[in-house]
């Protein structure tokens, strides 16, 4: 069977099953759950020692009983255009199947080469799904052009596919926030742009990012997720937790910001 091999296992997260299960178990036991069932989430994509706890907190806003499909949207760090994967994804915990029905109704190019490239933004989300939602499927979308226009276009395509298939979905936007700046500046800028998501206002989200020059790497995926969830019935965004890499490294002079956000 052709599968998408795990490319960053053993680097971003443990590559051995028992170690990964143990780590994820700890993350979920310590997860902060503040909403019962979110339409979508923002989950970071750094190495698990840095942001794994936040990812678990974000995924914990979705009931463990969920058996539908996660539409994963991650930024392309390597310049690939927007594309989709249509083969199962490998994790140390076992493979995760894709939702071919939804994929067949999305007007996106299938490009497994781009997905095979060591792109962490999507891959690091998969073990959380396999561990907590073992019966769920995925639709992995790598987003190239992150402009507001393209975000709305991708959101429209996703909504159309959901309406055609009637699928039960949750949307996961993979993103980190400020990159390699002093923590006090990162925290101020990140919380300022995140605040725009309280009212699901992606226009203001884009405006604030541009105004402050914030290096949010997945602003497009976040905007797509918010747009889809808003049209599915969500009313507001909620910041579950924010932290920076400084809390792990002890270096607060050059940090990366991470946020767990739920759209409910």
Q: What is the pLDDT of residue 142?
A: 96
H or E stretch at 132:
helix 126-132
H or E stretch at 69:
strand 69-75
Token pair for residue 23? 């780590």
Structural domain of 217: 17-263
Token pair for residue 190? 């990140």
Cα torsion 47, 48, 49, 55: sign: positive
Q: Does 12 reside within a domain?
A: no
Q: What is the pLDDT of residue 115?
A: 86
Q: Does 3 reside within a domain?
A: no
Q: What is the pLDDT of residue 178?
A: 98
pLDDT confidence tier of residue 175, bands split at 50, 70 and 90? very high
Q: How many domains does the chain have?
A: 1
pLDDT confidence tier of residue 33, bands split at 50, 70 and 90? confident
Cβ contact 35:264 at 8 Å? yes
Query: Token match 């500046």: residue?
Result: 185
Q: Does 2 reside within a domain?
A: no
Q: Does 1 reside within a domain?
A: no
Give percent above pLDDT 90 in the chain.
Answer: 93
26: CB partners within 8 A, 6+ apart: none
199-228 per-position pLDDT tens digit: 999 999 999 999 999 999 999 999 999 999
**CATH classification at residue 125:** 3.40.830.10
Read off the pLDDT of each residue in 17-30 and give the average, rounded to a whole number. Answer: 97
129-155 per-position pLDDT tens digit: 999 999 999 999 999 999 999 999 999
Residue 257 DSSP class: E
The pairing of beta strand 69-75 with beta strand 169-174:
parallel
119 vs 30, residue with greater confidence: 30
75-126 per-position pLDDT tens digit: 998 888 999 999 999 999 999 999 999 999 998 999 988 887 778 999 999 9
pLDDT at 35 over 80: no
Helix axis angle for 48-59 and 17-29, nearest 10°, is 60
Residue 198 DSSP class: G
Cβ contact 257:244 at 8 Å? yes
Q: Does 6 reside within a domain?
A: no
Cβ contact 228:234 at 8 Å? no
Q: What is the pLDDT of residue 80?
A: 87
Q: What is the mean pLDDT of the chain?
A: 96
pLDDT at 34 over 80: no
- Cα 146 to Cα 38, 54, 122, 212, 243: the distances in Å are 24, 24, 16, 17, 24
Q: Does 169 reside within a domain?
A: yes
Q: Does 4 reside within a domain?
A: no
Q: What is the pLDDT of residue 77?
A: 87
String of DSSP letters for 221-254: HHHHHHHHHHHHT---EEEEEEEETHHHHS--SS
């Amino acid at each position: 069977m052709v599968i998408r091999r795990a490319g960053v296992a053993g680097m971003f997260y443990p590559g051995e099953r028992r170690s990964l299960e143990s780590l994820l178990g700890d993350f979920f036991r310590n997860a902060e759950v503040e909403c019962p069932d979110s339409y979508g989430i923002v989950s970071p994509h750094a190495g698990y020692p840095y942001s794994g706890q936040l990812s678990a907190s974000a995924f914990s806003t979705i009931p463990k009983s969920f058996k539908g499909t996660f539409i994963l949207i991650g930024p392309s760090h390597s310049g690939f255009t927007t594309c989709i994967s249509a083969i199962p994804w490998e994790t140390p915990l076992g493979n995760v199947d894709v939702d071919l029905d939804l994929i067949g109704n999305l007007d996106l190019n299938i490009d497994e080469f781009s997905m095979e490239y060591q792109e962490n933004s999507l891959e690091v989300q998969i073990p959380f799904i396999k561990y907590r939602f073992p019966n769920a499927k995925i639709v992995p979308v790598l987003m190239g052009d992150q402009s507001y226009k393209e975000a709305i276009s991708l959101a429209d395509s996703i909504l159309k596919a959901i309406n055609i298939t009637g699928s039960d979905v949750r949307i996961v936007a993979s993103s980190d926030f400020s990159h390699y700046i002093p923590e006090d500046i990162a925290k101020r800028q990140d919380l300022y742009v995140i605040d725009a998501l309280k009212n699901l206002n992606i226009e203001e989200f884009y405006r604030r990012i541009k105004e402050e020059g914030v290096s949010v790497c997945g602003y497009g995926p976040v905007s797509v997720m918010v747009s889809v969830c808003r049209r599915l019935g969500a009313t507001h965004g909620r910041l579950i937790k924010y932290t920076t890499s400084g809390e792990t490294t002890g270096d607060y002079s050059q940090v990366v910001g991470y946020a767990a956000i739920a759209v409910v």
